[in-house]
Amino acid sequence: MLAMAGAAAVLALAGCGSADSDAAAKIPAAATGSLESLAAKVKCKPDMQIDSDEVRQAICKTSDGKYVFATFATDRGQREWINDAKDYGGFYLVGRKWVAVGDDKVVKALQTTLGGDEEIGTNHSAHSGHSG
Which residues does residue 98 pair with via DSSP β-bridges, in sequence order? Answer: 71, 95
Give me the helices (H) in 17-65, please. 35-41
Model confidence over 20-47: pLDDT tens digits? 555 556 889 999 999 999 999 999 999 9
pLDDT in tens, 120-131: 988 766 555 555
pLDDT, residue 14, reads: 44
State residue 53's pLDDT score. Answer: 95
95: β partners: 98
Phi, psi of 89 (to 5 degrees): 85, -165
- Cα–Cα distance measured from residue 84 to residue 15, given in angstroms and rounded to the nearest whole number: 18
Specify whether the CB–CB gap between 56 and 71 falls below 8 A: yes
Per-residue pLDDT tens digits for 56-115? 999 999 898 999 999 999 999 999 999 999 998 899 999 999 999 999 999 999 999 999
Residue 21 pLDDT: 53
For the chain, domains (ranges, CATH) are 2-12+35-120 (3.30.200)
The pTM score is 0.76
